[in-house]
Structure formats: C-alpha cells, structure tokens
Amino acid sequence: MELIINLSINGIATGMLIFLIASGLTLIFGLMSVLNFAHGGLFVWGAYSGVFFFSLTGSFWIGILCAIVTGLILGLLTEVFIIRPVYGNHIRQILITLGLMLVLSELIKVVFGPNVLPAPVPDYLKGSWLIGDITIIKYRMFIILVGALIFCLMFFTLRYSKIGLIVRAGVMNKEMVQALGINIKKIFIFVFMVGSALAAFAGALFAPSAGAIYSELGMEFGIYAFIVVIIGGMGSIPGSLVAALLVGLANTFTAYYVPILSMVVTMLLMLIVLLFRPQGLFNVSGVSNK
C-alpha cells in the first residue's frame, strides 16, 4: 500500500510538470491552430535559465523568475519572427518549429556548454517527510502544490476574466472574435508568451527534481506535451490536467513494474483515446479553424 501511495505521489508530481508544459501548448494549439514543436525547447531553456540564475544569485525564486522572463522573451520572438509568417500552414509550422527546436537545443550547448548541468534543490525544499511507512519527498509535494495553484489560476482566469473569455471564444471561433472588434493578433501574442512562459516555468521546476539537465530534454517533454493535448482535447485546460495526471501516473507505475513499457504506455493511452474519443477527453465545442 505504501508503495502505491509513494508511486502515486511521484506520478502526480510528474503529471503536474507535464500539465504545466501542456497547458500552454493546448491554448496555442486550440486558439491559434499552431503546431509548435519548439515548445519543448522553451521548457529546456527555462530549466537552464532557472539553474543558471539560481547558482548565480543563490536564490531559487530569482532563478524561477528569470526562467519565466526567458520564456516570455523567447515566446515573443518566436511568435513574431517564426510563427507569424506560417499561420494557416501546418506543414510549414511543423518544419520551421522542428528546426527551431534543434536550434534552441544547440544554442543551449553554445551558451551553457555541452555537459550535463547539475541542478540542486534549494535547502528548504530538500529532504522528505515520513508518515508511517510513506515517504513524501518535499520537492515533489512542492511541484504538486505549484501545479495545482497554476491550474486554479488558469481555470479561474479563463472562466471569469474578460481576457479569459476572449481566449475561450477565440478557441471556438477566431473569425467571430475579430468581427466583434477584438484584435486577435494581440491575443495570439499574449497567449503565445504565456504558453512559452509556462513551459519555461515547468523546466525551471523540473530541473531540481531531476538533479541534472541536458539540452535534449526538450524533445522528450515536448512529445509528452503533445500527447497530453491530444488526450485532453484541444484548447481544454481541465482536459490537459486530467490527461497529464493520467500520463504521469501511467508512466511512473509502468516504469516501476514494467520499465520496458514506460514509453509504450503513453502511446497506448493516446491510441485508446483517439479510437474512442478522437476529439479528446474534454472537447471544446464548435472549435473551428476560422
């Protein structure tokens, strides 16, 4: 029983990290119909920025803040110079963002060096709590709480704020949003920057839990994010959360009991959902490419 609980906590923590990357991607995908394969690159840049500024300043929080700013800046540059010329053309989007992904990964080596970078956990989040035979690692609990907080923040912003309503409306019908007098380009930039910042934030949170980071991490997590968006339903934040937790838990349990199947199980989950609910678990009605 203790083992199940420990594995569940690990799985939920992994799921929360994947949720943070996927939540930005689902909005970008749903609202802008943009296939951004460079999203994982923003994750890895966030991880490196977080670790670099943490070691430079000694403050974990300054590291997190710098990772978010890195995500915002990279998001802005990516939207303006890379994505904008290829709106409405998925083939070009895939090619150009895959290219950008490679460039971002290689730039990591140029800026931070080619070696694996150690990523320490801040002292106050080191260690674990022991409740009976259950070991709760403090940093994993921290990730779960931060992930839950970000979900609530996104959920309530999207549900109740004006900008959230516009983004949700844009996911359903971009053309009508424009015909109501709203500059959808500004909304696109905003969503792209927030999505990128979330990916970078997830990277900065992930690094200490992994202990060390390397430049190819982005591709691995980028694929997870896409799988979660497909399982959860395009444009749905609750869908991303549920799908990310499913993927996180399935991965952790399989990695423990049948390690060889840990990647296969994620693909299998996606396959089952695509077979029975091609629109994803949480469908946003009336989504159109208009």
Partner 1 sequence: MSESILKLESINTYIDQFHILQKVNFEVKKGELTVLLGRNGAGKTTTLRTIMGLNPASAGTVTFKGENITKGAPYQIANKGIGYVPEDQGIFYDLTVGENMRVAMRHENDETKERLDWSLDLFPDLKRFWKKPAGQLSGGQKQMLAIARSFINETDLILIDEPSKGLAPVIVEAVIDAIEKIKDRTTVVLVEQNFSMAKRLGEKYYILDNGMTMHHGNMKDLEQNEELKRKYLGIG
Q: Which residues in this chain contact partner 1 in the complex, by CB under 8 A? A: 162, 165-166, 168-169, 172-173, 175-184, 284-286
Tell me whether residue 69 or residue 182 sits nearer to partner 1 (CB atom): 182
Q: How far, CA to CA in Å, does 38 sit from each of 12, 83, 116, 223? A: 25, 11, 21, 10
Tell me whether residue 8 or residue 173 sits nearer to partner 1 (CB atom): 173
CB of 196 to partner 1, least distance (A): 24
**Long-range CB pairs of 146-150, under 8 A, 24+ apart, other chains included:** 146/16, 146/205, 147/13, 147/15, 147/16, 147/17, 147/19, 147/20, 148/16, 150/19, 150/20, 150/23, 150/198, 150/201
280 neighbors 234 (Cβ within 8 angstroms) = yes
CB of 83 to partner 1, least distance (A): 18
Tell me whether residue 259 or residue 286 sits nearer to partner 1 (CB atom): 286
Supply the DSSP symbol for 120: P
CB of 55 to partner 1, least distance (A): 45
CB of 247 to partner 1, least distance (A): 24
User: 111: Cβ–Cβ under 8 A, 6 or more apart, which residues?
Assistant: 48
CB of 46 to partner 1, least distance (A): 31
CB of 191 to partner 1, least distance (A): 15
Tell me whether residue 80 or residue 271 sits nearer to partner 1 (CB atom): 80
Tell me whether residue 195 or residue 233 sits nearer to partner 1 (CB atom): 233
3-state secondary structure of 136: strand
Tell me whether residue 181 or residue 259 sits nearer to partner 1 (CB atom): 181
Q: Label residues 134-155 b or e (16+ Cβ within 10 Å = b).
A: eeebebbbbbbebbeebbeebe
